[in-house]
Chains A and B, each alone.
Chain A
Amino acid sequence: MNTDADHLHEDHKTGIMRWITTTNHKDIGTLYLFLSLTMFFVGGAMALIIRAELFQPGLQLVNPDFFNQMTTMHALIMIFGALMPALVGLANWQIPLMIGAPDMALPRLNNWSFWILPFALGMLGSTLFFEGGAPAAGWTLYPPLVLQGGDALPYAIFSIHLLGLSSILGAINIIATILNMRAPGMTLMKMPMFVWTWLITAFLLIAVMPVLAGAVTMLLTDRFFGTSFFTASGGGDPVMFQHIFWFFGHPEVYILILPAFGVISTIIPTFSRKKLFGYDSMVYATASIALLSFIVWAHHMFTVGMPLAGEIFFMMTTMLIAVPTGVKVFNWIATMWKGSMTFETPMLFSLAFIVLFTIGGFSGLMMAITPVDFQYHDTYFIVAHFHYVLVPGSVFAVIAAVYFWLPKWTGKMYDETLGKTHFWLTTIFVNITFFPQHFVGLAGMPRRIPDYAVQFTDFNAISTIGSFGFGIAQILFLYILYKTLKQDVTADNKVWEGAEGLEWTLPSPPPYHSFEEPPKVE
């Protein structure tokens, strides 16, 4: 046993090779999180280009084609480069710690699933420097428009294949780890909620990433090999792409939010000093949201010309999602009820998550109503909605998770005052950015336009000011991370008074191989 451990430590390389060859779940989690942070700023810079152009009517900064490249790349980079890697990074760090395992089940695969990403994202990003530029048909890549694109298209498609491959490998690893490596006594219904949400998310990933790969491969053959899957003049159907894309796209939305739910379900009980209310119903609600996500896809395309029966079906299934989502929100609030709350930075981000995600949920319910969605569809109202669920939703959950577990990961406590400042700046500016977008959308401003009629000026100007404030506030986040990392190890094993779970039984930072001896869970 001892010799085994010694042997492993001999293999433990230093310098850059440590990171390239690592099979350690913590190292890989860190790599994921750093990649995500970098991409968050890259995608954010693109968002600021978009917002700067929209500050005033008229074109001042970029031409329309480059604007379209920015909206397309901003979405792809934020979804596949920032949010998904952040959530997988959290999974890598936390799942073994939370289930009492020494590492992930498939460590070499883990290395691969990470190291595919920088190359895939690099390839995607390189298209910006091509003649003709990056893909500009929106992240949804609708044909026939996307087929008019230049050389960027095959690169973007190959990059999506690689990103999908990375996600599938990551998902396989997560499922294998959760199903096989739990500490004795930890039955499925005793797992922490974060582990549950990731288990369900991993199944969603395996189910839908191949669908996306299939859809973009058909685009590729339509463009280069003479097929006409989506070309009407060749007997194909451009609308079929949308159906296939959203069969992936809707579960993808939940891939981005379910692990966030898991984070919130961990943080709220900790700072309420009270057990999570309705654990069982939380698990069932997560599973029902995941199942429903497969039968609601066409609500993204109500205006495409569907039969009446189809519209009614997708309207009703979409409305149904409000039930399990409501259960989650009610459970969080019941957890706080009669708790003994304190408001450290992770808790503040989690509380803001509940309020602002619910606002995004309300606008989501509004757009489930098909006859009204005919008005909302493809306007800034939609842009406001999905940014509310993704930014103060998923992104806030990731930030909350980082503040929550950073002292555990590093043994170093962040500066609470700065953390709270970061919270307030971020929350105020996120609302200044996205709330006015509801108004311009309802008033008739379509999305994905670089220039607009003058009656939309005021709220666009406000939104732009908010977005720059939001961007600057994230530089403070960088500084907080830097300041935390450069100090000495001081954090306790159990950083938070109300914390529960196996990760808090380990030292901070935890040993290289988390649990060499499996802990007992009664």
Chain B
Amino acid sequence: MRNFIVFLLSTIPTLALGDWEVNLPRGVTPTSVLAYDLHMLIFYITVIIGIGVFGVMFYSIIHHRKSKGVVPANFHENTKIEIVWTVIPFLILVGMAIPATQALILMEDTSEAEVTLKVTGYQWMWKYEYLEDNVSFLSRIDSESNKARKLNSGVDVSNVKNYLLEVDNPIVLPVNAKIRLLLTAGDVIHAWWVPELGGKKDAVPGFVNEMWFNINKPGIYRGQCAELCGKDHAFMPIVVKAVSKAEYEKWVMNQQNNNKIANKK
């Protein structure tokens, strides 16, 4: 018992580290913002319906109880009201479906991309190929996280910077450009997901899936594999560095030179 209390107390510093985030990120792409706005819209609609439905229910629970001497009423059907509460929800759903379909059509339009990045999932790393620029590399969890995440590693993971969300080779992408991802996998199904860039997509062996985004703010965005892919599924993070176009072009040149040097060796 004493050990257990000590254990609980020892967790307090870790608790202070969390950031109590409760909602989807709004994100930095038109598609992530679209998803966020729809999410909030539907959320508020359900909150309003919830307040109405539970309000009536709790009114009834408080007022229509035997202890208050209420004699039960006799009604047990009312065609009019039953039609009303079938039709109104249907109309609300139609109201939701219209913006949702519009968003979906936009999200699935991968045409006219400026940069095409091929993503291949492996157990347990990602391979990235910049198809136009002939740059490619593997991206794995960084070594510090990798050491700390071992069973009973003895490392206090709260001291590890970006624990489980840091890689050795991050993706670099330009801002304000339509980026198209081609996703596939080499062994089992994985899913590529960076919440702030919008939704995820499965990387399926033997298939090529597509998704796109257009990052409107420079920064570093983190995510991870979202489809169970075996024992190290939790340990294949994704890091995207979004930079200005000029910086991006410089980075591509550097990568190409590095590749040449590596090839000569």
Measured between alpha carbons, how far is A341 from B105 in the docked complex, in Å? 50
A138 at the B interface (CB under 8 A): yes
Nearest Cβ on chain A to B261's Cβ, whole angstroms: 35
| Chain B 28-58 interface 0/1 with A at a Cβ cutoff of 8 Å (1 = within) | 0001101100110011001001100110110
Q: From A232, A303, A323, A342, give the contact of B202 (CB < 8 A).
A: A303
Q: Which residues of A contact B228 (CB under 8 A)?
A: 68, 137-138, 142, 145, 378, 448
Nearest Cβ on chain A to B5's Cβ, whole angstroms: 14
Q: Which residues of B contact A138 (CB under 8 A)?
A: 228
Contact B60 A337 (CB under 8 A): yes
Given A308-B104, A340-B71 in contact, is the A375-B225 Cβ separation under 8 Å?
Answer: no
> In this complex, which of A238, A329, A341 has the most chain B Cβ atoms within 10 angstroms of its Cβ?
A341
B230 at the A interface (CB under 8 A): yes
| Chain A 135-154 interface 0/1 with B at a Cβ cutoff of 8 Å (1 = within) | 01110001011001000000
The stretch of A11-19, A275-283, A476-484 that contacts the partner chain: A275-283
- In the complex, the chain A residue whose C-beta lies closest to that of B62 is A341
Nearest Cβ on chain A to B181's Cβ, whole angstroms: 11
| Chain B 86-101 interface 0/1 with A at a Cβ cutoff of 8 Å (1 = within) | 1001100100110011
Given A369-B42, A375-B39, A453-B164 in contact, is the A315-B101 Cβ separation under 8 Å?
Answer: yes
B65 at the A interface (CB under 8 A): yes
B22 at the A interface (CB under 8 A): yes
Q: Which residues of A contact B156 (CB under 8 A)?
A: 58
B189 at the A interface (CB under 8 A): yes
Measured between alpha carbons, how far is A305 from B110 in the docked complex, in Å? 13
> In this complex, which of B43, B75, B234 has the most chain A Cβ atoms within 10 angstroms of its Cβ?
B234
Q: Which residues of A contact B229 (CB under 8 A)?
A: 145
A59 at the B interface (CB under 8 A): yes
Q: Which residues of A contact B202 (CB under 8 A)?
A: 303-305
Q: From B90, B96, B155, give the contact of A369 (CB < 8 A).
A: B96
- In the complex, the chain A residue whose C-beta lies closest to that of B190 is A145
Q: Which residues of B contact A335 (CB under 8 A)?
A: 76
Q: From A59, A303, A315, give the contact of B201 (CB < 8 A).
A: A303
- In the complex, the chain A residue whose C-beta lies closest to that of B106 is A371
Contact A454 B163 (CB under 8 A): yes
Interface residues of A in 433-467 (CB under 8 A from B): 438-439, 442-444, 446, 448-459, 461
Contact B100 A370 (CB under 8 A): yes
Nearest Cβ on chain B to A460's Cβ, whole angstroms: 8
Contact A341 B65 (CB under 8 A): yes
Nearest Cβ on chain A to B233's Cβ, whole angstroms: 6
Interface residues of A in 405-446 (CB under 8 A from B): 438-439, 442-444, 446
A60 at the B interface (CB under 8 A): yes
Q: Which residues of A contact B260 (CB under 8 A)?
A: none
Q: From B22, B67, B188, give the contact of A442 (CB < 8 A).
A: B22
The stretch of B125-133, B205-213, B246-254 that contacts the partner chain: B205-213
A3 at the B interface (CB under 8 A): no
Measured between alpha carbons, how far is A59 from B156 in the docked complex, in Å? 11
Nearest Cβ on chain A to B16's Cβ, whole angstroms: 9
- In the complex, the chain A residue whose C-beta lies closest to that of B101 is A312
Q: Which residues of A contact B60 (CB under 8 A)?
A: 333, 336-339, 341
A362 at the B interface (CB under 8 A): yes
Given contacts A372-B39, A443-B24, 16 further A-B contacts (CB under 8 A): A56-B11, A137-B228, A142-B189, A148-B188, A278-B77, A281-B82, A316-B97, A338-B73, A365-B46, A370-B104, A371-B31, A371-B38, A371-B103, A373-B199, A442-B24, A461-B14
Residues of chain A having any CB pair with chain B under 8 Å: 55-60, 62-65, 68, 136-138, 142, 144-145, 148, 232-233, 237-239, 272-281, 303-305, 308, 311-312, 315-316, 319-320, 322-323, 326-327, 329-330, 333-343, 351, 354-355, 358-359, 362, 365-366, 369-375, 377-379, 438-439, 442-444, 446, 448-459, 461
Residues of chain B having any CB pair with chain A under 8 Å: 11, 14-15, 17-25, 31-32, 34-35, 38-39, 42-43, 46, 49-50, 53-54, 56-57, 60-61, 64-67, 70-78, 81-82, 85-86, 89-90, 93, 96-97, 100-101, 103-105, 107-108, 148-153, 155-158, 162-165, 183, 187-189, 191, 193, 195, 198-202, 204-207, 209-210, 223-235
What would be 8 A-B contacts, judged by CB atoms less than 8 Å apart? Answer: A65-B231, A68-B233, A359-B50, A369-B96, A375-B24, A378-B226, A439-B23, A452-B164
